Amino acid sequence: MTLRHCRNVPAYCGQLDRPIDPTQAVLGGISIHFEYYPHSAPGSSAGTLVATEGGPGYPATLSRDEYLELFKPLRRTHDVLLMDNRGTG
C-alpha cells in the first residue's frame, strides 16, 4: 500500500482494495478510502484513534473537521485514522 499526501488536507491518503465478495461468488472489487493524520509530538505514537461513520452511506472523511476537533487534545501523541465505509468517500 502506498500513502500519498492528500489534496487540501494535512494528511496522507490511501485506499484499501477489497473484493466485493470475499468468497468470490460475486466478482469485482471496491476501494475503501482513508486519511491518516500522524501525531505531532516527536517520538513514537502512543496509539491510533480510528473514526468511521455509523452510516449508512456517509464517509468519515467528510466529517474530518469534527473528528479532528474531537481528537484535538490527543493528537499530539496519537495518530488519527479516518476510515470511510465501503461504497462511500
Per-residue confidence at 20, pLDDT binned at 50, 70, 90?
confident
Q: Where are the domains of the chain?
A: 4-83
Backbone torsions φ then ψ of 28, nearest 5 degrees: 120, 170
Q: What is the pLDDT of residue 89?
A: 65
pLDDT value for 55: 67
- Which of the pair, 30 or 57, is modelled with greater confidence? 30
User: Strand 29-37 relative to strand 48-51: parallel, antiparallel, unpaired?
Assistant: unpaired
